[in-house]
Structure 1
Amino acid sequence: MPPITPLPQYLAQRYHGWRAMSYAENKAWYRRLAEEGQRPRAMVISCCDSRIHVTSIFGADEGEFFIHRNIANVVPPYAPDGDHHGTSAAVEYAVTVLRVANLVVLGHSQCGGVKGCHDMCAGNAPHLEEKTSFVGRWLDILRPTYERNADIADEAERLRAMEKEAVLVSLENLMTFPFVREAVEAETLTLHGLWNDIGAGIIESYDPEKDSFQPV
């Protein structure tokens, strides 16, 4: 067995506080969720970044969102090669089993994953170029975001453009999944691209007619 230690005390205390308050006040709801299973209306693919709290942003209750988090909210292209694909598996489950009606890709400001992709593409992150880097090979998927915005002189502006472009790359890749395309064409599933400015508390949504992100 690997060296496993008990839960940190501060987390144990928070759990007991949750059970004494939130759970105690909503026992019937939790039991209903346990007995009837989940029926989320939406799947949200967001970044692992600890500053992004999807349920808080949208005021969602337990059972409302099917959430998948990864570095830089990336969806890889459809690749049924028999390898491990955690994100692809989550998308497949959400669309074909849970039959969510909405699928949201949520990007954000100051994204470390996007910054890593930027630095790697600019030749400033040799450690990410190593074949042994899981992060680097994952961020390879976002290389088009750098190429599409390389002409932006200001680095901060370029990074922000790449963060939004990362959302679009993931949406493009989602449409390479046959079951996603079928659901979209059947109008049983809608795709949405969002970007969150953490400091300003702003959510912007991609508007295909304007080909830009607009405040919600």
Structure 2
Amino acid sequence: MTDTHPDSPAPLDRLIDGYRRFRTTGWAPNRERWATLNEGQQPEVMVIACSDSRVDPSQIFDVDPGDIFVVRNVAALVPPFETSPGHHGVSAALEFAVQVLKVKEVVVMGHGLCGGCKASLTQSLRGTEPGHGGFIADWISLLDDARETVAHEHGTEGRDAERAMELAAVRVSLDNLMTFPCVRSKVANGSLKLRGAFFAISDGLLHVLDESTGEFAPAV
């Protein structure tokens, strides 16, 4: 539970306290590593994850700075390739990771209890104005087709339906990744691999998508 005592430090002050601990225990003992990173980055993996505060990829995968290139957004979604005018943040990050950093794998990691996937399933934000849920509704409309299948098979309420929607969202993003020419060509020549993963908050288990079966199984 968050400390709401009137005398408790402000949120930024708590972050600065954490920064001071990092300087002592994270940065100072690893000066050589940081000196190397000062020359550039060479991550082999890009992780596309949700913005949810409970699913930090660096913490879940226990990696060092410079090991993974991370993009986070609502529901860990990748939009399909398009060249229409606009600000394509995920597409820009993907292009940088694949073409400039030349990562070897792109991992899409969904998670349990995802609010974006639940909103897609229930359509609770449909028709809302931007600033009041409309931006989210527009973003998660990327899941509309998958949502129809999930709703038909599992309904729109309950944990089984939500879990099915969360797993379906990972598959949608993986499919959309293949609409990018730079991704498609590298996958075809074997220089890039796409992976699906799912982190269950309830039990802390990571599940990985098995390409041969198309199902998620615990990474044990």
Q: 2:110 aligned to 107, 111, 116, which one?
A: 107
Hey, what's the Cα distance between the residues in 1 that align with 2:99 and 2:179?
15
Report 1:39-118 matches (<5 A).
Answer: 39-118=42-121
Q: Deviations over 1:88-133 (max 9, x none)?
A: 111110000000000000000000000111111xxxx2x4323531
Hey, what's the Cα distance between the residues in 1 that align with 2:119 and 2:94?
25
Q: Which amino acid aligns with 1:143?
A: D
Q: Which residue of 1 is the match for residue 136 of structure 2?
A: 135
Q: Do the aligned partners of 1:47 and 1:73 also contact (CA within 8 Å) in 2?
A: yes
Q: Which residue of 2 is the match for residue 146 of structure 1?
A: 147
TM-score computed with the length of structure 2 as normaliser: 0.89
Hey, what's the Cα distance between the residues in 2 that align with 1:161 and 1:7?
35
Q: Which amino acid aligns with 2:141?
A: D
SS of 1:79 mapped into structure 2: coil
SS of 1:59 mapped into structure 2: coil
Q: Which residue of 1 is the match for residue 175 of structure 2?
A: 172
Runs of 4+ in 1 over 6 A off after TM superposition: none
User: What is the number of equivalent residue pairs in this alignment?
Assistant: 205
Q: Which amino acid aligns with 1:59?
A: D
Q: Which residue of 2 is the match for residue 28 of structure 1?
A: 32
Unaligned residue ranges in structure 1 (runs of 5+): 1-5
Unaligned residue ranges in structure 2 (runs of 5+): 1-9
Percent identity of paired positions between Structure 1 and Structure 2: 39
Q: Which residue of 2 is the match for residue 3 of structure 1?
A: none
Q: Which amino acid aligns with 1:167?
A: V
Hey, what's the Cα distance between the residues in 2 that align with 1:83 and 1:15?
35
Q: Which amino acid aligns with 1:136?
A: A
Q: Do the aligned partners of 1:175 and 1:181 also contact (CA within 8 Å) in 2?
A: yes
Q: Do the aligned partners of 1:41 and 1:65 also contact (CA within 8 Å) in 2?
A: yes
Q: Which residue of 2 is the match for residue 202 of structure 1?
A: 205
- Cα RMSD (Å) of the superposition? 1.5
Hey, what's the Cα distance between the residues in 1 that align with 2:38 and 2:210?
38
Q: Deviations over 1:45-98 (max 9, x none)?
A: 000000002112111110000000000000000011121011111111000000
Residues 38-47 or 14-23, more deviating: 14-23
Hey, what's the Cα distance between the residues in 2 that align with 1:22 and 1:211?
39
Hey, what's the Cα distance between the residues in 2 that align with 1:9 and 1:211?
46
Q: Which residue of 2 is the match for residue 8 of structure 1?
A: 12
Hey, what's the Cα distance between the residues in 1 that align with 2:81 and 2:149?
22
Q: Do the aligned partners of 1:42 and 1:104 also contact (CA within 8 Å) in 2?
A: yes
